[in-house]
Amino acid sequence: MRIRIITDDFTSALDGTACFAERGWETAVLVRPDSTATGAVVSFDTASREYPPALDHDAVATAARAWRDADVLVLQFDSTLRGRVARDCVTALASSGRRKLLVAPAFPSAGRTVEEGCVRVDGVPVHETAFRHDPALPVCESSIPALFRPHRIEMKVARDAAHARALLNVDDAVVVDARTEADLDSIVTTFARQPDLLLAGSTGLLRGLARGLPGARGAADVRDRRPDDAVASALSAGRPWLVVGSLNPRSRRQLAVAQAQCRIDVLATEEARSPISGVPQAALREVVTHAVNAVNSGACGGLVVTGGETARRIIDALPAVSLRVCREIMPGVPLAEVQTAKGRFPLITKAGGFGDDDALVTCIRTLTGAKP
């Protein structure tokens, strides 16, 4: 089975494949187009999230055309609807040649649900949460049908997988409600094997696919086969470094907790940043440069990075030769092994507005081998 994932952000590319690696699937994460990738599960970061929404993004269309014959084709986007969700869905649908679009953004284990076609975070419409004030990508709409209306897509709302199946017999685009992991599992069981369907959703949907598709092995079986080489290399190489590029208030709270509880070198951008999306200040470039120098010199034993743009810039600047996703540290937070021309190192990435206050502490302790 060939599962192909088109995503808009580097942390999403990693956390969307970690759930498959956790269960024994062969995975690959691409940061440059490569139609010859042969892994069972391949994710490609188009870096479209901060691309101007009024413009077409060639990387999305190129990936959708190259992977139009995949057994399962997924467009992955942020569970809080930051970025170009509707435009990328429309582009991928047209370029893939698929006739139907099913949108399932829920990520219940992270508190993100879909109710009556609207995305909620811990029960609150996402545009009424802190994500409305995201410094780079403010979220102003919770309704999926409303997001698609400017693109002349009439998005129908399904209350569950069975209702979505009935609607798709007549309509071309459906968003399906989901409040629990069981709801996502039902969606996967119903729709994963439809070759004319483009699936679109967050990491929550991909975790459902990893759980539900045949051939996936249990997580315990995978962990018992061998220890993580990436973690072993971190333990032998010294302290990891923490890199915080996200300006989300949750990331900043997590940073404060990590500094209070862990002995760690920290690189962080200033909290003031240009409001122009996609244009980094000198501070971000400086943080990336310091992180790359630390890796190349052997000064750090691995990186914990929060903020997808920051992580992607580090990978591009190294440059990375390959990325192997090992497993999940927690839902939506992956551990990967990065291979460069000079060696390899472990990398844990976390989206900015994600996780509880101890999330970065958990990531750091994973690489240091410290007990909770």
Q: How confident is the model at residue 308 (pLDDT cuts 50, 70, 90)?
A: confident
When pLDDT is averaged across residues 154-168 and rounded to a whole number, the result is 98
What pLDDT was estimated at residue 52? 83
d(CA 23, CA 208): 12
When pLDDT is averaged across residues 192-206 and rounded to a whole number, the result is 94
In three-state secondary structure terms, 346 is: strand
234 pLDDT higher than 80: no
**What is the strand order of the sheet 112-115 is part of?**
112-115, 118-121, 124-125
Query: Rounded to 5 degrees, what are φ and ψ at 284?
Result: -65, -45
250 pLDDT higher than 90: no
Task: Give the best-scoring range by mean pLDDT among 50-59, 145-154, 361-370.
Answer: 145-154
The model's pLDDT over 215-231, given as tens digits with 9 standing for 90+, comes to: 644 444 444 444 456 55
DSSP track, 289-303: HHHHHHHHHT--S-E
Q: How confident is the model at residue 277 (pLDDT cuts 50, 70, 90)?
A: very low
121 contact partners, CB below 8 Å, separation of at least 6: 80, 111, 112, 129, 131
273 pLDDT higher than 60: no
What pLDDT was estimated at residue 149? 97
What pLDDT was estimated at residue 209? 95
CB 49 within 8 A of CB 78: yes
In three-state secondary structure terms, 78 is: coil
Residue 181 burial (10 A CB sphere; 0-12, 13-18, 19+): middle
Assign domain 3-219 to its CATH architecture.
3-Layer(aba) Sandwich (3.40)
d(CA 198, CA 205): 13
The model's pLDDT over 60-85, given as tens digits with 9 standing for 90+, comes to: 999 999 999 999 999 999 999 999 99
What is the CB neighbour count within 10 angstroms for residue 370?
12
Domain ranges for the chain: 3-219, 226-368
Domain 226-368 part of CATH 3.40.980: yes
Rg (alpha carbons) of the chain, rounded to whole number: 19
d(CA 263, CA 252): 17
Query: Minimal CA–CA distance to 240: which of 260, 267, 213, 280?
Result: 267
Matching CATH topology for 3-219 and 226-368?
no
Query: Minimal CA–CA distance to 58: which of 87, 85, 83?
Result: 87
Q: How confident is the model at residue 279 (pLDDT cuts 50, 70, 90)?
A: very low
What pLDDT was estimated at residue 274? 40
When pLDDT is averaged across residues 136-165 and rounded to a whole number, the result is 96
What pLDDT was estimated at residue 221? 46
Find the helix or strand (DSSP H, E) in which 61 lies: helix 58-66
Q: How confident is the model at residue 238 (pLDDT cuts 50, 70, 90)?
A: low
Share of the chain above pLDDT 90, in %: 58
User: What is the chain's mean pLDDT, rounded?
Assistant: 87
When pLDDT is averaged across residues 334-338 and rounded to a whole number, the result is 90
Q: What is the pTM of this model?
A: 0.82
What pLDDT was estimated at residue 145? 98
260 contact partners, CB below 8 Å, separation of at least 6: none
In three-state secondary structure terms, 252 is: helix
Query: Minimal CA–CA distance to 101: which of 122, 87, 84?
Result: 87
